[in-house]
Structure 1
Amino acid sequence: MSTITLKNIRIFTNHGCLIEEEKIGSDYLVNLKVKADLSKASETDHLKDTVDYVHLQHIVKNEMAVRSKLLEHVGQRIIDRIFQEIDLVTKAKVTISKLNPPIGGDVEEVSVTMKSQR
């Protein structure tokens, strides 16, 4: 089993429970790890035999653009879509971090990690 990691995908979007978060938006970092059998790709050197990280980034970007109140909801949508669209992926782990959250204190980020397997 092999791992593909996308680290610190930076996205500006409008998630959160507060009305202000919907209007103002925030910066987010998304980290994604997927597990898959990449042995065929290592032999063939063909993109069709691996998990295309451009496809993974596209899924993250599209799902992060859909407003949600909870990061848990967004994280699970990302995982569900990966499993729907990429058959090679057997496990997925996504961490979504909201930078400078509006929680009334000096907090650099809050994060939620979701993981699942087929």
Structure 2
Amino acid sequence: MGIIKVNNIKLYANHGCLEEEAKIGSEYRIDVEVKASLRKSSKTDDLVDTVDYVHLNYIVKEEMAIRSKLLEEVAQRILNRFFRELRMIKKATVSVAKLNPPIGGNVEEVAIILTKKR
């Protein structure tokens, strides 16, 4: 078993419960960790034998572009697509963080972390 991480994916999106968030949007940081057998790819040196991190990034970008009120819903959609489209994944964790959230204080970020297993 091995781990593939895609860290610090930075995107601008329009998630949140407030109407202002839908209009002006916010900056987000997404971190992804997937577990899969990397034994074959470590020997074959062939992309078809591993989890393509370009595909992981593509899914994150597509799902982040779909507006949601809650970050939990966004993270769950990302996980669901990982498991639907990338059959090699055994376990995945996704962290979706809203940077400088509008919560009436000096807060760097709020983050939702979800994990799913096959």
Shorter-chain TM-score tier: over 0.9
Report the equivalent of 1:78: 78
Report the equivalent of 1:28: 28
Q: Aligned with 2:110: secondary structure? A: strand
Instruction: Measure the CA separation in 1 of the matches of 2:107 and 2:69.
Output: 19
TM (norm. structure 2) is 0.99
Q: Aligned with 2:33: secondary structure? A: strand
Deviation at 1:103, TM superposition (A): 0.4
Instruction: Measure the CA separation in 2 of the matches of 1:83 and 1:22.
Output: 28
Report the equivalent of 2:12: 12
Aligned residues: 118
Show structure 2 runs of 5+ residues with no match. Answer: none
Report the equivalent of 2:106: 106
Instruction: Measure the CA separation in 2 of the matches of 1:113 and 1:65.
Output: 18
Report the equivalent of 1:51: 51
What RMSD over aligned residues (CA atoms) do the two structures have, in Å? 0.4
Report the equivalent of 1:2: 2
Report the equivalent of 1:39: 39
Instruction: Measure the CA separation in 2 of the matches of 1:99 and 1:43.
Output: 40
Deviation at 1:62, TM superposition (A): 0.3
Deviation at 1:95, TM superposition (A): 0.4
Q: Aligned with 1:101: secondary structure? A: coil
Instruction: Measure the CA separation in 2 of the matches of 1:101 and 1:47.
Output: 38
TM (norm. structure 1) is 0.99
